[in-house]
């Protein structure tokens, strides 16, 4: 009988390419991984791995077994979900992947609620770019993740993953206040400092920043692809001066006059002084994703519900802020008319 744990390591080697990467992903030593893979070869009586330069590669038999392992793990996951559904209490490790702004704004409330309701559930959060999250889910490295879909970067259907809509955000063009590309704006009420006065947002086209330097996320990230594609759709290629993946750093650079950037609403929790924001005709949609075979697991359902409740709370705060903004603008118009 083949050992499923060893088969999983073989599948991880096929995915990650090196024994060192597998060891890092599995929180063990490269030596331990090598020993387990050697034991799997003895169990099968077939060579699964061969040396290739300084590394290793899978043989045809190894690739075939790694591919078949996916189906075996899927069946085991469905069985685990059925058993967990019959249990009285959720327990064990549960791995959540989320992008930076969600970790800062949505996840804290979700983790507190989930931990209070299921204290034996060991929650593990990994900050990850949504571009990498799907492969981590498929590989079993994550149990649930938050992924993105942009107007200019639609997500391709994946039969191995199930997604549910979570949150839709406006995308803004951020510039230094002196640049004149937008109007000062305030973040949602849930994160708005009391000293900030709300002002109406002035919609613009990204074309107004075609001649300005840009600040963008690292190549390979969805945020980077979104920036390039939206600008190209407006008829120009952005002249990127700086690369930064932390939106707080991006907004700080914008305030310093180093360039303009595209930012979603969740990134505005710490809006620095001197930044002007203009609404763009584009949206970022966040979805909760999990493996199709794990969608019925009670821990997955509980985590998805907690994240949804946190997102609902964010949306409620944003709605209150929009009403406050409109009322303030109306009062300002009355004062001007006098």
Sign, CA dihedral 115-120-125-130, equals negative
Query: From CA 201, how far away is CA 186, in angstroms rounded?
Result: 9
**Residues 222 and 269 reside in one and the same domain:** yes
Same domain, 107 and 160: yes
145 falls in which pLDDT band (50, 70, 90)? very high
| Same domain membership, residue 332 and residue 255 | yes
CATH label of the domain that carries residue 102:
3.40.190.10
CATH number, position 41: 1.10.10.10
> At residue 221, what are phi and psi to the nearest 5 degrees?
-90, 155
pLDDT in tens, 222-241: 899 999 999 999 999 999 99
210, 331: one domain: yes
Cα–Cα distance for residue pair 315/317, rounded to 1 Å: 5
Q: How far is CA 143 from CA 7, 209, 255, in A?
A: 19, 40, 38
- Which pLDDT tens digit goes with each residue over 267-276? 988 789 899 9
Q: How many domains does the chain divide into? A: 3
**Could you report the per-residue pLDDT of 40-96, keeping only the tens digit for each?**
999 899 999 998 888 899 999 999 998 888 788 777 777 777 666 666 678 889 999
Note the helical H segments in 54-106: 60-86, 100-105
Q: Are 138 and 174 found together in one domain?
A: no
Give bridge partners of residue 97 from the DSSP assignment. 126, 145
Q: How are the residues of the chain apportioned to helix, strand and coil, as percentages rounded to the nearest 5?
A: 50, 25, 30
Q: Which domain holds residue 8?
A: 4-85
Residue 8 has pLDDT above 90, yes or no: no
């Amino acid at each position: 009988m083949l050992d499923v744990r060893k088969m999983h390591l073989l599948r991880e080697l096929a995915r990650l390419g090196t024994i060192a990467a597998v060891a890092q992903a599995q929180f063990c030593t490269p030596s331990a991984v090598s020993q387990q893979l050697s034991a799997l070869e003895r169990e099968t009586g077939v060579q699964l791995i061969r040396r290739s330069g300084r590394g290793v590669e899978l043989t045809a038999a190894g690739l075939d077994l790694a591919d078949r392992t996916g189906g075996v793990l899927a069946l085991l996951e469905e069985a685990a979900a059925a058993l967990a559904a019959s249990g009285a209490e959720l327990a064990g490790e549960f791995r959540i992947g989320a992008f930076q702004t969600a970790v800062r704004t949505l996840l804290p409330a979700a983790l507190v609620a989930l931990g209070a309701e299921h204290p034996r559930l060991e929650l593990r959060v990994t900050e990850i770019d949504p571009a990498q999250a799907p492969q981590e889910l498929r590989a079993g490295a994550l149990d649930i993740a938050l992924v993105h879909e942009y107007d200019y970067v639609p997500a391709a259907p994946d039969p191995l993953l199930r997604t549910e809509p979570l949150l839709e955000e406006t995308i803004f063009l951020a510039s230094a206040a002196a640049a004149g590309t937008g109007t000062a704006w305030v973040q949602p009420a849930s994160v708005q400092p009391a000293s900030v006065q709300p002002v109406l947002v002035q919609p613009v086209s990204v074309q107004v920043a075609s001649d300005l330097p840009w600040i963008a996320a690292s190549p390979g990230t969805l945020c980077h692809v979104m920036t390039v594609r939206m600008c190209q759709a407006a008829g120009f290629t952005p002249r990127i001066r700086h690369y930064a993946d932390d939106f707080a750093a991006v907004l700080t650079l914008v305030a310093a006059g180093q360039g303009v950037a595209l930012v979603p609403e969740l990134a505005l929790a710490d809006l620095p002084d001197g930044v002007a924001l203009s609404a763009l005709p584009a949206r970022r949609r966040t979805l909760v994703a999990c493996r199709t075979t794990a969608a019925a697991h009670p821990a997955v359902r509980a985590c998805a519900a907690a994240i949804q409740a946190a997102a609902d709370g964010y949306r409620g705060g944003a709605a209150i802020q929009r009403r406050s903004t409109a009322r303030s603008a109306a009062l300002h118009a009355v004062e001007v008319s006098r």
